[in-house]
A = this chain, B = another copy of it.
Amino acid sequence: MNANLLKGNLDLILLAIIEPSPIYGGEITREASERTNGYFDFKEGTLYPALHRLEKSGFIKGSFQYLPRGGSPVKFYELTESGKKELSDKRREQQAFDQAMSALLGKS
């Protein structure tokens, strides 16, 4: 996978994965990988700074919780209201970009 293609799309992807229900870091990576047949494989140095960025911007909110199976507590993230708006904005933005790309490349 070309790393640069991810730039500018990572936030959108994370917001979209978090949207349905609270989820923590490791599960986000697994979800992204499974749903794309291994195409996406977020590294920790990619995922965690991005989550912090989103939290700092107020788009997501995290809280540590214990899993039923024990172990260390994990940080569950969920969308804030502002995050929901950001998600739909970014979806639109991405569609506009896709459309422009198609106009240049010719959809084939």
Contacts and interface: CB of A to CB of B under 8 A. Distances in A.
Contacts of A13: 101, 104-105
A101 B36 CA distance: 8
In the complex, the count of this chain's copies comes to 2
A7 B101 CA distance: 13
A6 B4 CA distance: 9
Q: A interface, how many residues as a size bin?
A: 20 to 34
Interface in A1-52: 1-9, 12-13, 16-17, 32, 35-37, 39-40
A91 to B, nearest CB: 7
Contacts of A91: 105
Nearest to A7: B7
A20 to B, nearest CB: 11
Among A5, A7, A8, A103, which residue has the most Cβ atoms of chain B within 10 A?
A5
Given A35-B104, A40-B104, A4 B8 contact: yes
A93 interface: yes
Contacts of A35: 103-104
